[in-house]
A and B are shown apart, each in its own frame.
Chain A
Amino acid sequence: MQEAPASDHLSALSLSPHEHAFYGSEARIVAPDSYEELETIVRDAERERRHMIPAGLGAHAYLGNPPPGNVLVVSLRKLNRILRYEPGDFTVGVETGLTLSELRATLEANGQEIPLDLPSAARGTVGGLVAAAPSGLRRGRHGPVRAYVIGAHALRGGATRYKTGGMVVKNVAGYEVMKFLTGSLGTAGPIVEVNFKLRPLPERRAAHVAVFQDPDAAWRFADNLRSRGREPAAIWVLNDEARRQAPRMLESLNGDGVAVFWLFEGQSGRVAWQESQAGSILDEQAPSRHSAVSGSELDLLIDFLADFDSPGAGPRVDLAIAKLSALPNQIRHVQDEAQRVVLEAELAPATACDVLSGLVTLRWSPRRDATEANGLDRPIADLGRTLLAQQGTGTLLYLPPQVRQSHNYLLTPDANASLARRLLKVFDPNSVFCPEKLLGPGP
């Protein structure tokens, strides 16, 4: 491909630690300054049939099935402007290279937010957020990323730029192509601009943590809070291992046993009432500890939970992370089964359950001896079986780079893979945007 326009970026840029580990030593990186330059890069890649991956800062490069070697990482980090922002409209349009922390700061200054508790906020970009579509801490209350994307500008095969949706909160003109792009892991081509709808920042947040020695009591409390808990914004249950992995400064998580975290937000008077109601529900179960969490401790706790599904800034050789989706009333069962499966391989799993959404995040440390019983093959196969039996779904969010290739990203097969591939061809007729990243190798 024509490297010339990118040559100075090549010298100035380097792959992120995750990109380096997961894309291999042959991977190269470019960062276009303009849409035109991006178009040239895509056109050249297509001509040369060279695989390319749109990226931001490479914070989520571990997601998905690994691309073939010699991949070109196209970082959109230089396309990072806030293009359209009229706070009164409660919408914002930005380039996807904008960092999440910058976006958050701008919105917060105007009393607004995208209520997603952006994980890796300091590291990631808007493009990564949309392409990876992480769940967010308050998903059960505010919905997924896709609910906030109202428009996008992107590139497809042939370096054709297109727009979908718009800058209004209600819009049914044309197909909602944004839905296909959100969570596509970049396989539908580079997304260059995204429009979001916004919400007002809550007037007040009130967070609590209770630790229970009896796991049954913890789950009973979480269930009661869900069913009569007066509109909580989040309820999470952390098993003992997960609780122990929290930073030591999080005093509320000290002690032994299962921790429950819950959050209310909104108008001050209402939040106070919600807290007291939850307090009565809590009294029924007698926790060993209970604390209200606020200020910097709450920020730390939110960061810990929001980052629970990520390996952090760099690759780890001793970590596996899976995310399982179940019906909310089966979440405990699915969590117990998942724990059992991993424990059978004599490993201690950490689980964090988003009770309102029915999502279980599972982290464990596979042993380093790469034998059959290395703590991966069997648990992964068993997790897949467990999910199928419970009609759940799951993804292997993180595996150490050296074994990533041996396991499919999706823990449960996608029944509509062939339809999805047909649609994907529209975006990527020459299969250069690493189509296997999400669905795995084609038939």
Chain B
Amino acid sequence: MLFRRQPRSTVTSNPAGAGIYAELARWIPPERLVLDHSELKVYECDGLPLHKELPGAVALCASRQEVIAVVRWCNEKNVPFVPRGAGTGLSGGATPTARAVVLDLNRMNRVLHVDLQNRYAVVEPGVINIKLTHEVHADGFHYAPDPSSQKACTIGGNVAENAGGPHCLKYGMTTDHILGLEVVLPDGETARLSGPLAENSGYDLAGLFVGTEGTFGIVTEITVRLVPNPESIRTFLAIFPRMNLACRTVAEITRQGILPAALEILDQLTIRAVEASVFKAGYPQDAAAVLLIEIDGLDAGMDEEEQKIRQIAKENEAIEFRTARDETERLKLWKGRKGAFGAMGRVNTDLYVLDGVVPRTRLENVLNEVYEIAKRHGVTLANVFHAGDGNLHPNISYDGRDPDERSRVLLAGREILEACVRAGGSISGEHGIGLEKMDFMPLCFTEEDLQLQKDLRRAVDPRNLSNPAKIFPDSKSCVEVGKRHATLVPL
């Protein structure tokens, strides 16, 4: 079932008329210019199917020059534009504004330069995340940020969302791995922000641009840090009879100053969904929670670290503590975790993936609240999350054809994020705000906080053309938080 948002006042209207997009053929060859209604439908949303909108045109750009040409044309015609990577975003960031031009960047997929001595690479935005690692792995390096979608998502999309992933616990988020950017600004000018050097002159504009979700223009080249492969990796699965024990294990590991590469928890419903899917990983289906632990680094000291972790798990009543004996077993354990969203997607017709963060010590309490909220609203909720950094992903499976269930899902989602904020956390740890959470921004920020961000946006994009109507609630919804979902109407 499709849902169409009613037009919003902040959206730049397109006065140009439908036929005008054909003009883009001056710069984009016809086979890479999508104008046909049925083909345009492919681009009407990203990984969040709650919001859908048809773009006016899609330009499958193959070079920076083409990006510049399209952006300039949009400026001339006052048409909004939306950059798009693989469309795996879960907050509606790449969902087009009505009649916008979508710039699909997947064809800009070259690794331009690799400098192993200085540990960096320069890539185009359409490079698939895992492909960069494949490119340098044999030489002893990898690209550390590893969203679970890494086989599909692009590094451009990662930069725009400041994507995370299981190994960000030890290695940091995307922003910690971005050394420099080339950006086509919303007016079509190009800027090079920082580069491979450790320190650059002036303000950290590259740092500011990461995570701006396409609202500061289009990233056309990215200089990323490459990280040496660890000498040794050990992966464990600790199995618990109760969720709180898994959470306590995580808290104690961190408290003891151990910094694992990853600490991921899956709850029972997720385990069962995974085990019933192609992502089957051999997780015990009667466990209340499993904790996937990975440590990596120099071989020396690994035994000691493993011993400490084992002990902590034991003290927290782990029923079993498994060690992946080889790379095949390790990959199998990870397959279950990385395929968890996919597996949950099979439980019902629709899946709503939430993304809240809480301070680590509040994890246990907030999780209890999350389950309680789901129960109260009668929705099917499973949890799979980056426990080490308090990043929750409650997944709600539902039947989107049932309007009553859908509204209960949205209400539960909102209450869960409210609970995260009340606990001192935030409404997004890695998936971004996009369309999904713009009305929730006032939960975290005051009018003044938001005004500053809007002013920054205006300084970069005075005409509000670059991915408009994302991130910030319009002034009406600032007052009436949460009303926007009510304006979703069935087609």
Chain A residues packing against B (C-beta within 8 Å): 86-91, 111, 135, 139-140, 143-144, 146-147, 156, 160-164, 166-177, 179-180, 182-184, 199-201, 203, 227, 230-231, 266-267, 269-270, 272-274, 323, 325-329, 357-359, 391-395, 410-417, 419-420, 422-427, 438-439
Q: How far is the CA of A328 from the CA of B459 in the complex (A)?
A: 35
Contact B201 A162 (CB under 8 A): no
Chain A residues closer than 8 Å to B389, beta-carbon distance: 168-170
Return chain B residues, CB-CB under 8 Å to A166: 424-426, 444
Which of A174, A267, A420 has a CB less than 8 Å from the CB of B202? A420
Tell me which of B119, B433, B452 contacts A156 (CB under 8 A).
B452
Assess the A423–B459 pair: CB atoms within 8 A: yes
Asked if B358 contacts A168 (CB within 8 A), the reply is: yes
B448 x A171 contact (CB < 8 A)? no
Q: Which residue of B lies closest to A440 (CB)?
A: B202
Contact, CB under 8 Å: B207 / A174: no
A172-B164, A180-B205, A270-B300 known; 4 new pairs, CB 8 Å cut-off, are: A170-B168, A173-B426, A357-B198, A419-B191
Docked pose: A381 CA to B168 CA in angstroms: 42
Contact of B449 with A162 in the complex, beta carbons under 8 Å:
yes
Chain B nearest CB, measured from A232 CB (Å):
11
Chain B positions 113 through 126: 1 when the CB is less than 8 Å from some CB of chain A, otherwise 0: 00101110000000
Q: Who on chain A is nearest to B91 by CB?
A: A172
Q: Is B20 an interface residue (CB 8 A)?
A: no
* A-binding residues in B (CB < 8 A): 115, 117-119, 161-162, 164, 168, 172-173, 175-176, 185, 191-193, 195-205, 207-208, 210-212, 251, 254-255, 257-259, 297-298, 300-301, 304-305, 357-361, 386, 389-391, 424-433, 437, 441, 444-446, 448-453, 455-460, 471
Which residue, of A162, A391, A439, has the highest number of chain B Cβ atoms within 10 A?
A162
Q: Looking at the assembled complex, report how far the CB atom of B47 sits from the nearest CB atom of chain A, in whole angstroms.
A: 16
The contact sample of 27 A-B pairs, CB cut-off 8 A, is A88-B255, A160-B451, A164-B449, A167-B424, A168-B358, A168-B429, A170-B164, A170-B386, A171-B429, A172-B164, A172-B173, A173-B445, A174-B445, A176-B208, A179-B210, A183-B203, A184-B203, A200-B257, A200-B258, A270-B300, A325-B199, A392-B197, A393-B197, A393-B199, A423-B203, A424-B203, A426-B459
A180 adjacent to B208 (CB under 8 Å): yes
CB <8 Å contact, B449 and A163: yes
B425 touches A168 (CB 8 A): yes
A86 adjacent to B431 (CB under 8 Å): no
Expressed in whole angstroms, the Cα–Cα distance for A422 and B207 within the complex equals 16
Q: Tell whether, in the assembled complex, residue A172 and residue B205 are in contact, meaning their CB atoms are under 8 Å apart.
A: no
Give 8 closest A-B pairs by Cβ, nearest first.
A179-B207, A200-B257, A270-B301, A273-B300, A414-B202, A88-B361, A325-B199, A89-B359
A143 in contact with B172 given A171-B426, A267-B304 (CB within 8 Å):
yes
Chain A residues near B386 (CB-CB < 8 A): 170
Look across to chain A and name the residue whose beta carbon is closest to the beta carbon of B433.
A173
**Contact yes or no, B430 A170, CB < 8 A:** yes
Q: Is the CB of B205 within 8 A of A419?
A: yes
Contact A395 B257, CB 8 Å, known A88-B360, A167-B424, A172-B429: no
- Once A168-B424, A172-B430 are accepted as A-B contacts, the answer to whether A274 and B205 lie under 8 Å apart by CB is no
Smallest CB-CB separation from B175: which chain A residue? Answer: A176
Contacts of B304 in A (CB 8 A): 267, 269
Complex interface: chain B residues within 8 A of A90 (CB): 254, 360
Q: How far is the CA of A180 from the CA of B205 in the complex (A)?
A: 7
Would B456 and A426 count as touching, CB distance under 8 A? yes
Q: Taking the nearest CB of chain B, how far is it from the CB of A239, in angstroms?
A: 20
Q: A163-B445, A175-B211 are in contact. Are A359 and B198 (CB under 8 A)?
A: yes
